[in-house]
């Protein structure tokens, strides 16, 4: 499969290029960057230190989608409508690892999914998706006497909080308990807050250093505590999952899929 990378000169973009080059069954179709980027015109493969592939970094989204079987997007939420529209025009599958979408941006992805295969996930890591399943299962087993807190830490450059993965873990916990996360979510504690409300799902956000991502779901009751943790030491795990998802889209019917679909989790 020919895989294109939007935002190819960024940290995740370079990881994705390296993973495509190292993976059997796929080839690099090209990459794009924003107008004015110093990477424009450079060889896409050479951005990772690999041998040049004869593919200059471009700024034309349509050119990239026309040359690709599937495009991977780890850019920014504002770019989603542009990439979704290009996927529809060219009948190209789309793998989206970006988080923090507002309603209109999410709607653009869902519109594209009516025409082509779209895989969207808050986290492409196999381990994180296992953690999501375990969180849902444990939340369904333990009674509301177990308080649920989700703690996440990322590098200093991350712009959204809580992380998309933390929110997905909150959704998994709420689903396991049969409640709506919006009604039980507690994201801010400051000052004299009073006692913790029974049934709340709390979030704590830490930022610093160059951490790729750490997430812990805490189930705390009187006398004991259960913790489920995933730690990513390299962004390569996200790139590996994204390329796996890209290969999975071959021959898929249009639809909005998740990494649970890709990995075959029940």
94 shares its domain with 162: no
34 shares its domain with 163: no
Of the residues 90, 154, 215, 230, only one is catalytic, namely 154
Per DSSP bridges, beta strands 27-32 and 117-120 are unpaired
We report the CATH number of the domain holding residue 63 as 3.40.50.720
246 shares its domain with 209: no
Rounded Cα distance, 30 and 170, in Å: 36
Q: What is the pLDDT of residue 122?
A: 84
Label residue 223 left, alpha or beta by phi (over 0 means left) and psi (-120 to 50 means alpha). Answer: left
175 shares its domain with 202: yes
65 shares its domain with 134: no
154 shares its domain with 93: no
Residues 69/1, Cβ–Cβ less than 8 Å: yes
Of the residues 158, 215, 230, 231, only one is catalytic, namely 158
pTM of the model: 0.81
60 shares its domain with 110: yes
Q: What is the pLDDT of residue 107?
A: 97
- Annotation marks residue 231 as catalytic: no
Q: What is the mean pLDDT of residues 110-118?
A: 98
Q: What is the pLDDT of residue 38?
A: 96
Q: What is the pLDDT of residue 266?
A: 60
In tens, the pLDDT along 191-231 reads: 999 999 999 999 999 999 999 899 999 999 999 999 999 99
* Residues whose CB falls within 8 Å of the CB of residue 7, separated by 6 or more in sequence, listed in order: 13, 31, 32, 33, 73, 74, 75, 76, 79
CA distances in angstroms from 159 to 20, 100, 154, 155, 208, listed in the order given: 26, 9, 10, 10, 12
223 shares its domain with 244: no
164 shares its domain with 92: no
Residues 265/133, Cβ–Cβ less than 8 Å: yes
Rounded Cα distance, 162 and 99, in Å: 11
Percent of the chain with pLDDT over 70: 100
In tens, the pLDDT along 66-87 reads: 999 999 999 999 999 999 999 9
7 shares its domain with 73: yes
Q: What is the mean pLDDT of residues 227-250?
A: 94
Whether residue 36 is predicted with pLDDT greater than 90 in this model: the reply is yes
pLDDT-based confidence at 92, cuts 50/70/90? very high
Helix (H) or strand (E) holding 5: strand 2-6
Q: What is the pLDDT of residue 234?
A: 86
Containing structural domain, residue 105: 2-120+235-263
We report the CATH number of the domain holding residue 179 as 3.30.360.10
Helix (H) or strand (E) holding 248: helix 236-248
Rounded Cα distance, 155 and 158, in Å: 6
Rounded Cα distance, 30 and 218, in Å: 42
Rounded Cα distance, 204 and 202, in Å: 7
54 shares its domain with 104: yes
Number of domains the chain contains = 2
pLDDT-based confidence at 44, cuts 50/70/90? very high
Q: What is the pLDDT of residue 99?
A: 86
How confident is the prediction for the chain on average, in pLDDT? Answer: 95
11 shares its domain with 110: yes
Q: What is the mean pLDDT of residues 236-262?
A: 95
């Amino acid at each position: 499969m020919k895989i294109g990378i939007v935002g190819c000169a960024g940290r995740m973009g370079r990881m994705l290029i390296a993973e495509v080059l190292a993976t059997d069954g796929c080839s690099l179709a090209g990459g794009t960057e924003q107008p004015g980027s110093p990477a424009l015109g450079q060889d896409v493969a050479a951005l990772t230190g690999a041998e040049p592939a004869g593919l200059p970094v471009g700024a034309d989204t349509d050119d990239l989608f026309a040359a690709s079987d599937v495009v991977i997007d780890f850019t920014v939420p504002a770019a989603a409508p542009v990439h979704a529209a290009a996927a529809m025009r060219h009948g190209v599958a789309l793998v989206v690892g970006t988080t923090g979408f507002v309603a209109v941006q999410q709607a653009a992805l869902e519109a594209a999914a009516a025409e082509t295969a779209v895989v969207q996930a808050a986290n492409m890591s196999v381990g994180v998706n296992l953690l999501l399943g375990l969180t849902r299962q444990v939340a369904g087993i333990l009674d509301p006497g177990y308080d649920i807190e989700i703690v996440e830490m990322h590098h200093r450059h991350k712009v959204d909080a809580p992380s998309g993965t933390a929110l997905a873990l909150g959704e998994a916990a709420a689903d396991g308990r049969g409640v709506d996360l919006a009604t039980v979510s507690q994201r801010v504690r400051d000052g004299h807050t009073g006692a913790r409300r029974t049934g709340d799902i709390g979030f704590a956000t830490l930022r610093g250093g160059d951490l790729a991502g750490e997430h812990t779901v805490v189930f705390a009751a009187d006398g004991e505590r259960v913790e489920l943790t995933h730690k990513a030491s390299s962004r390569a795990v996200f790139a590996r999952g994204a390329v796996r998802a890209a290969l999975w889209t071959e021959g898929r019917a249009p639809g909005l899929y998740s990494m649970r679909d890709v990995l075959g989790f029940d």
